[in-house]
A and B are shown apart, each in its own frame.
Chain A
Amino acid sequence: MSDFRTPYPGYDVLAKWASPSWNDQTRQVVRERLLNIPRPRFFNEAEWSVLTALCDRIIPQPERAEPVPIAPFIDAALFEGRGTGTRFAEMPPDGAAWRQGLAALDAEAALRFGGRFAGLTAERQDAIIAAAVAGDVTAPAWEGLPPRRFMRGLVLLEIVAIYYAHPAAQSEIGFGGSTSPRGYVRLDAGRFDPWEAGPGIWPDREP
């Protein structure tokens, strides 16, 4: 399994923190996100251990000494009843769906590999996640919770929404980051404003 390499090493959206690309309210939001990691209040210990293992496999961050925290924000959103606007009719309410889904991942781990999800190897965890994403799971604990919908319509969405809200994640994809009040001037392909990331390094495009 090869590791992830960013095309934009050395680029950091936070480097523009004091520039006209950032206004006070964006600073307030991002400062809060970076400094105030919520402590878990919604999930119990068993659920939490599945959740953190799951987040580690959806967004593996082996290269980071301090990975971008994801699970704490999922917990906080559920605790605060933030809402997403949609509950698919075939699904339980969000909080209940998360609880049941995490338990079902654990049950699936027991069924397939005779262990707890959090204790499995990364390959085995991935196999279970892939099966759930494909709707191809069999543990009775999934009863009433369509696995594909749970994974694609809730779990993956929430995890990417939290991860790509983080400056480290935005930097690794070369996103321009905050733009208020200053936006962009150069809108053509391959042309960049000085406050954007420089051209990326693209192995598939080396001559």
Chain B
Amino acid sequence: MTGAVGTVSRDAEEHPRAVEGRAPDVFSRDGFVPMRQWPEEEPVDFAIVGTGCGGGIAAAKLAQAGFSVVAFDAGPFWRPLADFASDEREQDKLYWLDERISGGNDPISLGSHNSGRCVGGTTVHFQMVALRFRPEWFAARSRLGYGVDWPVDWRVMWKYYAEVERACSISGPVRYPWGPPRGRYPYRAHPVNAAGLVLARGAEALGVPWSPMPVATVSAPRGKSPPCAYRGMCKIGCSTNAKQSILITYIPRALAAGAEIRDLAMVARVETGRDGRVCGLHYHRGGQWRYQRARNVIVAGYAIETPRLLLNSASPQHPQGLANSSGTVGRHLMVHSNHAVWGEFDEEIRFYKGPPLLAVCEHWNYADGDPSRDFDGGYAIMSQGPLPIDYASCLVSNTGVFGTELRRRMALYNRMAGLKIVGETLPQPENRVTLAEETDGFGIPKAHVSFSYCENDKRLFRHSLRFMDRMLRAAGGRNLYESEATAHLMGGCRMGHGPDDSVTDSDGRTWDVPNLFVCDGSLMPTGGGVNSSMTIMANSARIADRLVALGKRGEL
């Protein structure tokens, strides 16, 4: 595993903070809140691996229901007010920087592009876009003829979207132009910055609707969160706590309800008893290997680490890896394609101001009948606002420009605007996570990730590039160039209707092992054309309620 990355608060990367009956108070610079601790020798009701969208929500809701809960995260427990700098390179410390091997025809970039490692998970550095799936996507196969159906009805998901939107105080428009009506967002929409208004101009010129983006940062004070200061550093961690990450929403609730969080605790193996049920997990913390006994285990490490952990937990009872009798674990990994078009504008846009993505056009998620539509699935178009290093990385990796010309093109930073998609890719069995032969610093086999676009994915992003090209020109952009990237991992342990082609049932319960659950982005059977976090959160909140209900009936 990589060593400490940051200059500030290195101790948080080196020594666990949630110890001795207290955990960091995320709303303070150096304070603590009380934390209940659970012994390792006594089985806890739930041991949860990961504290992001999936694990954080499960920990809070299960603890609130009275279960004993210990949640483990491989990363540090930050206090944003004291630990986060306004500095892109420093804040690399939020990402999962351990080496993963990336192959396939279209190998994806990992690290800062898609996975975090800290208490609160990837939401600590996510860009706060808070969108809902289109209802039909939950039945993509039967309603739209591609991918697979989710084992969940959209109306149930709709209810849970509302729950997590409330819990994260989403700021959004009064009327959202697409999909069935939704209730009012808890907070009013943010003003649309200049970069967002470029999208608005383009959309209006082409005759398609656009909307201010619903985002997970407050537009008015909320509890200990001040309103967003439009400082634009959301992707490297919000140092004011305006951003409603899992770290400052569900984690404090989990602690208050009696859950224990163990930071800098890397789980290496889930242990199986002779009866084939799981009975605890092995983890590394404070320089030594430890073992926690548990009645139930929930794996919530996201789309790469969840399959990796299950595969690495093979035992005589589960020789192919835990919950993998069907060979499905690690398969159907999806990303969103992030194809983009950039252009220069006459006026200074200065897209470093405000949350990076403040306007959206979901037209192509809904326009089923359009004759130009030559792909299945959908894509949303968003305005952009990368910080300098992020923008420079996109520029050089896509164009290969260097030298004085590179400096000159970077000097146009303040006049650039861009549009990018969150583009659906189809679930394919060969896009998958496997274990490499090489091991990491803990002796755990590294993840090998294989990804290739299929023809439909390519048709989709080509369509989007043509459309965004027109849109950006119509908005006044010149000297356009295109870039490609990917974001948002999904799938890898999908839930489904039966044990042959999925890993879990609709409760996240693995088909093979009745007391082993998955609750995170890896469950997603399809990816949809919007950012993933709200769907992962809603699904996790739903699963947590199901577990509580099952517990009450003695069916756990």
Cβ-based interface call for A184 (8 A):
yes
Interface string of B91-132 (1 = CB under 8 A from A): 010011111111110011111110100000000000000000
Contact B82 A164 (CB under 8 A): no
Cβ-based interface call for B39 (8 A):
no
Residues of chain B with a CB closer than 8 A to A202's CB: 415
Cβ-based interface call for B364 (8 A):
no
Contact B110 A160 (CB under 8 A): no
Contact B95 A85 (CB under 8 A): yes
Cβ-based interface call for B193 (8 A):
yes
Question: Which of A40-48, A53-61, A109-117 lies at the interface?
Answer: A53-61
Residues of chain B with a CB closer than 8 A to A130's CB: 402
Interface string of A152-166 (1 = CB under 8 A from B): 110011001111110
Closest to A56 in B: B403
Cβ-based interface call for B66 (8 A):
no
Contact B87 A83 (CB under 8 A): no
Residues of chain B with a CB closer than 8 A to A90's CB: 103, 107
**Which of B6, B95, B396, B448 is A160 in contact with, Cβ under 8 Å?**
B396
Residues of chain A with a CB closer than 8 A to B389's CB: 160-161, 164-165
Kindly provide the distance from the CB of B242 to the nearest chain A CB, expressed in whole angstroms.
9
Residue of B87, B110, B113, B191 most packed against chain A (CB within 10 A): B87
Contact A187 B353 (CB under 8 A): yes
Residues of chain B with a CB closer than 8 A to A199's CB: 348
Which A residues, 169 to 199, have Cβ-Cβ distances below 8 Å to chain B? Answer: 169-170, 172-190, 192, 196-197, 199
- Knowing A151-B400, A152-B400, A187-B353, the reply to whether A84 touches B89 (Cβ < 8 A) is no
Residues of chain B with a CB closer than 8 A to A121's CB: none
Residues of chain A with a CB closer than 8 A to B113's CB: 85
Contact B101 A87 (CB under 8 A): yes
Contact B103 A172 (CB under 8 A): no
Cβ-based interface call for A66 (8 A):
no
Closest to B114 in A: A85
Number of interface residues of B (CB under 8 A): 78
Cβ-based interface call for B185 (8 A):
no
Contact A187 B230 (CB under 8 A): yes
Interface SS, A side: loop
Contact B101 A178 (CB under 8 A): no
Cβ-based interface call for B23 (8 A):
no
Across chains A and B, the number of contacting residue pairs, with CB separation under 8 Å, is 233
Cβ-based interface call for A1 (8 A):
yes
What is the CA–CA distance of A175 and B348 in the complex, to the nearest angstrom?
11
Kindly provide the distance from the CB of A204 to the nearest chain B CB, expressed in whole angstroms.
9
Residues of chain B with a CB closer than 8 A to A206's CB: none
Residues of chain A with a CB closer than 8 A to B96's CB: 85
Residues of chain B with a CB closer than 8 A to A129's CB: 402-403
Cβ-based interface call for A200 (8 A):
yes
What is the CA–CA distance of A190 and B396 in the complex, to the nearest angstrom?
27
Interface string of B65-94 (1 = CB under 8 A from A): 000000000000000001111111110100
Contact A23 B86 (CB under 8 A): yes
Contact B85 A85 (CB under 8 A): no
Interface string of A84-116 (1 = CB under 8 A from B): 111111100100000000000000000000000
- Knowing A25-B82, A172-B411, the reply to whether A183 touches B229 (Cβ < 8 A) is yes
Residues of chain B with a CB closer than 8 A to A22's CB: 86
Residue of B92, B95, B96, B403 most packed against chain A (CB within 10 A): B403
What is the CA–CA distance of A1 and B404 in the complex, to the nearest angstrom?
9
**Which of B240, B352, B407 is A181 in contact with, Cβ under 8 Å?**
B240
Cβ-based interface call for B231 (8 A):
yes
Which B residues, 382 to 412, have Cβ-Cβ distances below 8 Å to chain A? Answer: 387-389, 392-393, 395-397, 400, 402-404, 406-408, 410-411
Kindly provide the distance from the CB of A49 to the nearest chain B CB, expressed in whole angstroms.
19
Which B residues, 330 to 358, have Cβ-Cβ distances below 8 Å to chain A? Answer: 345-350, 352-354
The 4 closest A-B pairs by CB, nearest first: A85-B111, A183-B229, A89-B103, A183-B231
A sample of 5 more A-B contacts (CB under 8 A), given A6-B411, A58-B402, A172-B407, is A25-B239, A59-B406, A87-B102, A89-B448, A161-B389
Q: List 30 A-B contacts (CB under 8 A).
A: A2-B404, A4-B404, A7-B414, A28-B85, A29-B7, A59-B406, A60-B404, A60-B407, A80-B3, A83-B5, A86-B111, A87-B99, A87-B100, A87-B101, A89-B101, A152-B397, A153-B109, A165-B87, A170-B388, A175-B387, A178-B85, A178-B87, A179-B229, A180-B239, A184-B354, A187-B354, A188-B194, A189-B347, A189-B348, A190-B347
